[in-house]
Amino acid sequence: MKVDIYDKIMNLANKYEEDVIKIRRDIHMHPELSFQEVRTSEIVAKKLEELGIEVQREIGKTGVVGILKGRNPEKVIALRADMDALPLQEINDLPFKSINDGIMHACGHDCHTANLLGVAMILSELKDELTGTVKFIFQPAEENGGGGREMVKEGVLENPKVDAILGLHVGSMPLGVVGMGYGAISAYSDKFTLRVKGKKAHTSMPQQGVDAIVIAANIITALQSILSRQISPFETATFSLGQINGGTAPNIVPDMIEIVGMMRCVSKEARETIKTKIEKISKSVAEGMDGDCEFIFKEGYPSVINDKELTDLVKETTCERYEAIKDKIGLNVPQNFDIKNLIKVIDKPMLGSEDFGFYAQKIPASFIFVGSGDSAPPHNSKFMVDEKVFKLTLNILASAAVKYLND
Ligand SMILES: [Zn+2]
Ligand SMILES: [Zn+2]
């Protein structure tokens, strides 16, 4: 009987699972912050070279790219993992607990990196059966700084030109639940600063100054009407003023207040409206009160938009592979198992951000979530991943890539 390529992937996933766990624990123990992933990217590059995969280093500072060419290398799929950790003290009791003080892999990026290396191990053995090219993207700085933006800027989607990209995130859902969504699944997130300027005076003679605190108070109140009056009630959008600083003494009319906020929107249009209105209202309120206001916008991550066709392909692959491996992966699959119950369709975008959006802006993309147990939410000192999740993530990612190329 001919063993099909997906069964081969399953066997190879079993073969390499232990190696993947070993790599994951090593990376977990030595977490590195955004754009400082020197040790991690060295592990990645070395392993890819060992597998005979063409390697490019220092793309987007500390990023690594691997290129695996199959039989007809024209069609190209990219698979992306992020490598950075968070400035957080781990309080889990693990034999491979972080040894870097105040730094922790609390978002599962150690798993994403190890998993993608595992997929590289699997696919490099199946090279002769691949009808296309797989580009492995190991990016820095998802948490802080937009490593995805840097890699795209440095041409990671070109030479060879990438036709589609897949990514996944492990996280706090019951082990084995797969979350998928169509269209926008995460939000644009942008930071802005308002610098309100007035004129100093003694508080006994306020008429000689321009009180920046009073102007700021009016601006803060006026901005609240943007969401209720300028944005459609059907639109998913919000912003908050999370920080305010200024003033020097109780008896001085202050001349400078700084307000820092964050906006999160799903559509480009809402983002543009909110951005323009914040600037316009703040400036006109300040001017009307004889002060001034400077608006500084710092572009964050764009929404992740999941391509319909590509997401269907991932969904179909997930269903097929789940059915095939369910008895072999030791997940607590319910008696009357139905894969449909394990795939959670995300119908509302989360308002968090994910820098996979930088790729999804350019080419068809699909990003999924795979439950790795719900110990604690991500970005928490107690975040933990059930490593059984690799049984699923190795199979899903490798199989979806092959399906895309070979279909
Ligand atoms: Zn995170
Ligand atoms: Zn993350």
Which tens digits make up the pLDDT trace of 342-384? 777 777 888 888 999 999 999 999 999 999 998 899 999 999 9
pLDDT at 347: 76
CA distance 183 to 347: 9
Task: Pick the catalytic residue from 37, 90, 354, 387.
Answer: 387
- Tell me the C-alpha to C-alpha distance, in Å, between residue 175 and each of 94, 95, 311: 19, 22, 21
Separation of CA 309 and ligand 2 centre (Å): 24
Query: Ligand 2 being an ion, which residues bring their Cβ within 5 A of it?
Result: 107
113 burial via Cβ count (<10 Å: 0-12, 13-18, 19+) = buried
Contact 185, 350 (CB under 8 A): yes
Quick one: pLDDT at residue 332? 61
Which ligand neighbours the alpha carbon of 104 most closely?
1
Taking only the tens place, the pLDDT of each residue in 238-259 is 999 999 999 999 999 999 999 9
Please say whether the structural domain 5-186+303-406 has been given the CATH code 3.30.230.10. Answer: no
Active site residue 16: no
Closest ligand to residue 377's CA: 1
Ligand-binding site membership of 202 (annotated):
no
pLDDT tens digit sequence for 125-141: 999 999 999 999 999 99
Q: Is the pLDDT of residue 329 over 80?
A: no
Tell me what the pLDDT averaged over the chain comes to. 93
- Is 213 a residue whose pLDDT tops 60? yes
Q: Does 379 show up as a binding residue in the annotation?
A: yes
* Mean pLDDT calculated for residue range 70-91: 95
Q: Is the pLDDT of residue 173 over 60?
A: yes
Please tell me the number of the ligand nearest to residue 169's CA.
2
Reduced to 3 states (helix: H, G, I; strand: E, B; else coil), residue 149 is helix
Contact at 8 Å (CB) between 147 and 34? yes
Ligand nearest to the CA of 356: 2
Instruction: Examine the residue annotation and report whether 387 is marked as an active-site residue of this protein.
Output: yes
Domain with CATH 3.30.70.360 in the chain: 188-301
Q: Given pLDDT bands bounded at 50, 70 and 90, which one contains residue 107?
A: very high
Ligand 2 centre distance from Cα of residue 85 (Å): 9
Cα 329 to ligand 1 centre (Å):
27
**Strand runs labelled E in 70-211:** 76-82, 133-139, 164-171, 178-181, 183-184, 188-197, 201-202
Helices 109-125 and 389-406: crossing angle in degrees, nearest 10, is 50
Asked if residue 298 lies in contact with residue 191, where contact means CB atoms within 8 angstroms, the answer is yes
User: Does the domain made of 188-301 have the CATH classification 1.10.10.10?
Assistant: no
Binding site annotation covers 293? no
Structure tokens at 149: 């933006």
Helix (H, G, I), strand (E, B) or coil at 254: coil
Q: How far apart are CA 126 and CA 8, in angstroms?
A: 8
The active-site residue, picked from 188, 301, 322, 404, is 301
Phi, psi torsion values for 257, nearest 5 degrees: -130, 135
47: helix, strand or coil: helix
Specify the pLDDT at position 131. 93
Q: Residue 85 has what pLDDT?
A: 98
Distance 378 CA to ligand 1 centre (A): 7
Q: According to the model, what pLDDT value does residue 334 have?
A: 58
Overall average pLDDT of the 41-45 stretch: 98
SS3 state of residue 354: coil
Centre of ligand 2 to C-alpha 24, Å, is 15
Residues of the chain with CATH 3.40.630.10: 5-186+303-406
Mean pLDDT of 398-405: 97
| 244 C-alpha to ligand 1 centroid (Å) | 25
Q: What DSSP character marks residue 88?
A: -
Which whole-number Å values give the CA distances from 87 to 92, 113, 143, in the listed order?
Answer: 15, 18, 10
Distance separating alpha carbons of residues 220 and 246, to the nearest angstrom: 14
CA distance 254 to 248: 7
What spacing in Å lies between the alpha carbon of 199 and ligand 1's midpoint? 41
Q: Please, which pLDDT band fits residue 202 given cuts at 50, 70 and 90?
A: very high
pLDDT at 266 over 70: yes
